[in-house]
Chain A
Amino acid sequence: MAGCVEGDLASLTGLLTAAGLSNASSIGEFMCSKFADVSSSLSTHTLAVDNIYLLFSTYLVFSMQIGFAMLCAGSVRAKNTMNIMMTNVLDAAAGGISFYLFGFGFAFGRSQTNNGFIGSNFFGLHKMPNETNGFDFSFFLFQWAFAIAAAGITSGSIAERTQFVAYLVYSSFLTGFVYPIVAHWMWSIDGWLGAAAVTNRLFGVGAIDFAGSGVVHMVGGIAGLWGAYIEGPRIGRFGSKGQPGMDMRGHNASLVVLGSFLLWFGWFGFNPGSYVKIVVPYAGSAFEGNWTGVGRTGVTTTLAGCTAALTTLFGRRWMTGHWNVLDVCNGLLGGFAAITAGCAVVEPWAAIICGFGAAWVLMGFNHLAPKFKYDDPLEAAQLHGGCGAWGLLFTGLFAREKYVFEAYGPDRGHGLFMGGGGRLLAAQLIEILVVIGWVTATMVPCFYLLDRYKLLRISPEDEMAGMDLTSHGGTAYSNEDPILLPPLSVRAGQNFAKADSVNASREGSRNNREMQEAI
């Protein structure tokens, strides 16, 4: 503290008196007022720097929405592109309204009646900014960017066969209620599950899900799992009597790679950004602080993704004989989804193990999915659900004591393999179970009701024709040259040609010749 706190003024005055000064209290007060100025300038600087850090992390997380949109668009068939992109735009837009009205309040609201299950304040940003809890508008915006990611994951699982109305219903429900409750359990200081809680942490330690392998990825993935299971696979995906079904590849690999890279870009906001504050020096060091943890989190995130990508590359080459960039991109994302829980509390070498495991988890679930005739156009349940769960488990095994202390404070748990005993691991397993349990208990009735009232799945005719044509006003791509559609263009062209006849006659013949050569 740079200002005079508690007895500082008295002890300074005492020192000056002992030195023989007669007006020690005036001198002491002058000096303390100067120190107070220094202190308040410092806290202003700290607030500005922390808010810049949080805001730019938020913008990076938002760019994951662009990534999701492009990944989804490229991974579906061309006839459903408009549909899937619409869901991505609306995840952000409808999510913005519902998270403003309810979501943030359910997740982080604090009032006299705090409880471990659900938040109860700050609805519609009422009473924000809130100095007591340190919540400024930047924190809301950051949490919004997280909330909309969860709904985006689910829309991938049920792509290409779901009615748009069903999407609107489950998406508002997920962003406005299901997700915020889990976020409250895990990340609010009132939550019963997470290591962020001040008192009464689960098993005395609390589960560690730093940036949301469970809260975001498993929630989105498990919701997608039930949605896709209840409505069944796309027509033609699996043959009826055990015959192999259609391949149903995505229509644009360039968009898939663009989307994956944008997600990687955005993950640098997602994981390191989850520190929220960066101006926090570590005790006992004049060089390290949260900036060190933030930087290390960027490193673990990168290494986990890289390892998962390489593991997938060689794993799939061995199994299929091809070097498949789509598989590698999915492996990469699986590595990111897995490291997200432990990104701040594991060593870089452990991140490599995390990514290696994530790749096999993803390939394993992808192997199982066809056996159960489970069809997920974006592998979202396998990737975000499966690798997310692996990430939580991994954190229970490899979390390092020092990093946990720096990120969460004293008396939290660390990994079983790092000498921390089983309590953190137990808390992690509980988190996996309750996330599955909660999402199942809320989303299965939701999808079941939609299905029962014939609001979930589109008709077979619409599915064969493609939803862009039947629900979204036309196809996404139109490359036909209007010059091949004579009646209208010729008629209008003649009209126009009169007005511009001089120009046309002067240049027309030359242009025609060049065009013919070019063609």
Chain B
Amino acid sequence: MASSCVENEEGFLIDLLLTGGLSSASAVQVGEFLCSKLGGVSNRFSSHTLAIDNVYLLFSTYLVFSMQIGFAMLCAGSVRAKNTMNIMMTNVLDAAAGGISFYLFGFGFAFGRSEHNNSFIGSNFFSLHNIPDRSNGFDYSFFLFQWSFAIAAAGITSGSIAERTQFVAYLVYSSFLTGFVYPIIAHWMWSVDGWLGATGPTRLFGVGAIDFAGSGVVHMVGGIAGLWGAYIEGPRIGKFTRDGSPGMDMKGHNASLVVLGSFLLWFGWFGFNPGSFVKILVPYDGSDFEGNWTGVARTGVTTTLAGCAAALTTLFARRYYTGHWNVVDVCNGLLGGFAAITAGCSVVDPWAALLCGFGAAWVLMGFNYMADVFKYDDPLQAAQLHGGCGAWGLLFTGLFANEKYVLEAYGPGRGHGYLLGGGGNLLAAQLVSILVIFLWVTVTMVPCFWFLNKNDLLRIDTDDELAGMDLTCHGGPAYYNDDQPYHSYAEYLDQKYEKTRGRRHGGDQLA
């Protein structure tokens, strides 16, 4: 749809005017005038399109950023009070250190394009050099959006190894993860040069894997990294016992913060999933009502329904198993549903999202059960939730992706779901992406954690762990409630009355 005069339309118009009886001079003048006006209209349209798409991308970015607030509150509430400052510190630093490393290396490794493009790693745009880049359509808003995704991955890992990890270890693995491990996967899956994803021209099995907003790229990467970290450093002291008697419960210290964090993550997920369309002003062929805005909103609906279904499934299942209606479990189930739908959010039907959430709840409960059996201790269930449900989400997309939606989101020649008549190509690509993500994170992060552990840089010592890291490393406890001398206004008035009476009688009874 071009409102300007394209190709030879100006000549065509001038010919028409000539044939109609205008002199050749006036025909050229009239034709050029009309085409220049139409050209002006067309230019206005492209600036409007850029402005609208950038508004959409920027506000989605801000929503994704609010997930950091959510993570911080969720983590804070889920650990014991004595380690609150420590875990919040890691969340602040995920965003802050991640900002620097993603600026310097990460974005370039993930999305850099130059003459020597390759499918393994990007090679340009380090430190935002040559950005904005018109040929790839990369403006600063795209960098900011990708940064807010990158810092989510490191945040997930810090949950798995919470309450027992040296702060130095955190600094090392976090920079490595955000600056190298994560961007490589993002390149494979989301760059047009990547070998794995459905985005580029050469696609795995002819179709490419579909991970629309990052069940694999973000959640599995963070979750698997956490899995190895927590496995290598072992459980918290007292979580499991040697003689097989039940260990301590070690529940989080503040459920209000857990709920606040979960809700903020839900809020931010509306930027994470629908925002991954990146552009909203893209009309769909053959419709004058639907466009990317329809896909964006449907993505919001599938995201919501998957989370809701997972939350309700967890509610009733946990009630059945434990006899309690546990809000912390429900919040984790909710987040598991979100992590799972993230891969297929834009390409599945709303009814399929209900199945996705239902499955995610059982995946999470299953992995949580196995974690206890294997004495694996993850204070935030991050490996089970983001790793397990993320993998389920990739698999689910291979089963339920709808052909029409895949066409709208990715273009022609991609695969759709096995159960919706799409054959096995997409499913195979999804399985390959689960495997390679698992392997890539393993071969990079296991040496990293192993090396830290070997040099006594990974785990804090026993005394520090029992005393709590806030006291031993972070300048004191997070909470201080002891400076309230009176419990009620009445008590204060009584004392004040006593004091004045005492003064009147020449003594100071309050001293």
Contact = CB atoms under 8 A, between A and B. Distances in A.
Contacts of A136: 289-290, 293-294, 297
A309 interface: no
Interface stretch (A79-87, A222-230, A420-428, A453-461): A79-87
A503 B263 contact: no
A59 B294 CA distance: 16
A478 B334 CA distance: 23
Contacts of B294: 51, 129, 136-137
A290 to B, nearest CB: 16
Interface string B310-330: 011001000000101111111
B22 A97 contact: no
Contact of A482 (B238, B307, B461): B238
Measured as residues with beta carbon below 8 angstroms from the partner, the interface class of chain B is: 35 or more
Given A66-B267, A85-B256, A124-B351, A55 B81 contact: no
Interface in A467-503: 471-474, 476-479, 481-483, 485, 488-489, 491-493, 495-497, 500, 502-503
Contact of B325 (A44, A471, A477, A493): A471
B268 to A, nearest CB: 9
A504 B52 contact: no
B331 to A, nearest CB: 7
B187 to A, nearest CB: 29
Contacts of B252: 478
A512 B330 contact: no
A252 B479 CA distance: 14
B41 A38 contact: yes
B304 A70 contact: no
A38 B308 CA distance: 42
B463 A504 contact: yes
A471 B13 contact: no
B260 A474 contact: no
A82 B56 contact: no
A482 B325 contact: no
Interface stretch (A19-27, A387-395, A442-450): A19-27
Interface in A129-153: 129, 131, 134, 136-138, 140-141, 144
Given A74-B256, A141-B297, 20 more contacts: A22-B19, A23-B16, A34-B3, A38-B38, A41-B3, A45-B45, A48-B52, A55-B270, A58-B300, A73-B259, A90-B312, A92-B308, A93-B334, A138-B296, A474-B324, A477-B253, A492-B237, A492-B240, A507-B461, A511-B463
Interface of A: 16, 20-24, 26-27, 30-31, 34, 37-38, 40-41, 43-45, 47-49, 51-52, 55-56, 58-59, 62-63, 65-66, 69-70, 73-74, 81-82, 85-86, 88-90, 92-97, 100, 124-125, 129, 131, 134, 136-138, 140-141, 144, 164, 252, 255, 258, 322, 471-474, 476-479, 481-483, 485, 488-489, 491-493, 495-497, 500, 502-504, 507-508, 511-512, 514-515, 518
* Nearest 6 Cβ contacts at the A-B interface: A21-B20, A137-B297, A96-B308, A473-B324, A51-B293, A138-B297
24 contacts: A23-B20, A52-B52, A55-B293, A62-B267, A89-B327, A93-B312, A96-B307, A124-B351, A136-B289, A137-B300, A144-B304, A322-B489, A472-B325, A472-B326, A477-B256, A478-B81, A483-B466, A492-B240, A492-B248, A500-B462, A503-B461, A508-B461, A511-B464, A511-B472
